[in-house]
Amino acid sequence: MSDLRITEAFLYMDYLRMSECIQISFAVCRIGMYTCFRALCCKGPPPARPEYDLVCIGLTGSGKTSLLSKLCSESPNSVVSTTGFSIKAVPFQNAILNVKELGGADNIRKYWSRYYQGSQGVIFVLDSASSEDDLETARNELHSALQHPQLCTLPFLILANHQDKPAARSVQEVKKYFELEPLARGKRWILQPCSLDDMDALKDSFSQLINLLEEKDHEAVRM
């Protein structure tokens, strides 16, 4: 074979390799453009938020209904004290809380335990500005809930409500009076101050509760 034909053969092979490289480059570009198009224009539905079933308890007048209604962006004019029980779906960015609120009247509290089954967490609301007698009653009810077989292993969010009132006890006073440190040792619980005037603090309290619920879920998966 002459030198000219050898040179032509090499040039033809270089041409084929260059053509292959160009085709690969175009293919990569097409894949990249398609991926970007899918990401920008064809997003699927966002992943479903986990849902948790909670029970909310506390004496009449503690503010359970008002707090939950505010979290659900309901009009304060439509708030009526719960006499039996009500259920609200409270949405958060990373979870939905299906809250079963139980009325706190004397003749209803004795039936609370009938509604505990299936709960994954507990919200206990107390009036931090209440009378000594009501505070004592609230303490007894919280102690009973913390030790109930269906609730004792669940995360608790304890809200010291009405912090905007002059007679409100501080969180430290509530913790000491309710004897939470010795009683709830080893349990998952959060004690937070709250009022309707500070929704950021209230939402932060619920975010902490959601973290506890997620931790409990992860522990169950590991087991």
pLDDT (tens digit per residue) in 17-64: 555 445 444 444 444 454 554 555 555 566 688 999 999 999 999 999
Answer with the residue of higher pLDDT: 28 or 190: 190
Annotated binding site for GTP: 58-65, 104, 161-164
Q: What is the mean pLDDT of the chain?
A: 83
Q: How confident is the model at residue 222 (pLDDT cuts 50, 70, 90)?
A: low
DSSP annotation of 112: G
Annotated binding site for Mg(2+): 65, 82
pLDDT score for 104: 94
Q: How far is CA 187 from CA 84, 153, 181, in A?
A: 28, 7, 10
pLDDT tens figures, 123-176: 999 999 999 999 999 999 999 999 999 999 999 999 999 999 999 999 999 999
- What's the pTM? 0.78
CATH code of the domain occupying 51-222: 3.40.50.300
Q: Are 104 and 64 in contact (CB under 8 A)?
A: yes
> What residue ranges do the domains of the chain occupy?
1-44, 51-222
* Binding-site positions: 58-65, 82, 104, 161-164
pLDDT (tens digit per residue) in 62-72: 999 999 999 99
Give residue 23's pLDDT. 47
Identify any residues that bridge with 181 across adjacent strands, giving them in sequence order.
none
Give residue 223's pLDDT band: very low, low, confident or very high (50, 70, 90). Answer: low
Has residue 198 got a pLDDT over 80?
yes
pLDDT at 100 > cutoff 70: yes
Eight-state DSSP code of residue 183 = H
Helix (H, G, I), strand (E, B) or coil at 56: strand
Give the pair of three-digit tokens for residue 21.
Answer: 């490289």
Alpha carbon of 165 to those of 17, 130, 139: distances in Å?
81, 10, 20
